[in-house]
Amino acid sequence: MLDNLNYSSRLEQLEGEALSTVDFPIDIRNRNVRNANGEVIGKISDLLYDVQSKKVRYVILDIGLNSGNARQILAPIGVIVVDNPEYIEISSLSSSFIEHLPDYMKGQVNPGVENMVRLAYLEEQKEEESTPITGHPETIDPESFYSNKLFSTTHLFNFVGSAETVKKVQAVFDDGLEAESAITELLAAGFNADDVELSSTAAATNTGADEIETPSVANGGSLISIRINNSNEALRASEILNKNGSVSIFEQEEKSEG
């Protein structure tokens, strides 16, 4: 039987590979990470995925970059919240909790390391261990190791507006050409032209937006509104808007007509 400490994991970093390499719809690399108190803990430097199933199992976090005590640690994919276009939230990441996590070392994530990481997060969340405590291929089916909500992604992209409301991602641009470029890219990415609206920030503030506070820019600007059906679309739209120079991105929920 292989030694757990020397066992070479089948997990690999995504690194420069395209996101389509893995079964994960949103590229969250380089996003800042906050904890439950709103403190910026670090940023996601990469994703760690299973080369056989192509499922993302962990995010790799760079922390302590500004303190001179830089480290890399792992967070199971199931503990992240991605419903904000500007950052990722991992509520567990207090300073005291981070101290108990092992350092991430590329190519050295064996079942022992995975057990340490998983048990730490389970204890922090006051969850009982209900699945096998080893991912070793000679002792158990590796997939059974991940049959735990710490590795579930079902909660990440199931954001759907109710039948009585319409969800929108909106963005303010101070440059009309950048706004037009963003719309072109949104349509090329598959968003329906009927769901994308362009207006001036002044018009959006003064007409038809009774209870919505719409950010504006000093010399006027453009407002793009995109109807969305789920968090996947919200994040895709936000990435495109941000890349094209938006000065503000926010979500709105409006009463639907009829």
| Diameter of the chain measured on Cα atoms | 72
Q: Which of 255, 247, 197 has the alpha carbon at shortest distance from 226?
A: 197
The pLDDT tens digits of the residues spanning 99-148 come to: 889 999 998 898 888 888 988 888 876 655 555 444 444 445 666 778 87
The pLDDT tens digits of the residues spanning 19-69 come to: 888 888 778 888 999 998 889 999 999 999 998 888 999 999 999 867 678
Domains and CATH numbers, the chain: 11-151 (3.90.50.10), 165-255 (3.30.70.120)
pTM assigned to the model: 0.58
Separation in Å, CA 73 to CA 25, 54, 151, 212, 239: 23, 21, 16, 40, 25
Q: Which of 134, 31, 17 has the alpha carbon at shortest distance from 83?
A: 31
Separation in Å, CA 122 to CA 46, 56, 63, 110, 163: 22, 19, 21, 18, 36
Output the six-digit token pair for 148. 């735990």
With residue 118 as reference, give the H or E element that holds it: helix 111-124
With residue 142 as reference, give the H or E element that holds it: helix 142-145
Output the six-digit token pair for 97. 């909790």
Amino acid at 174: D
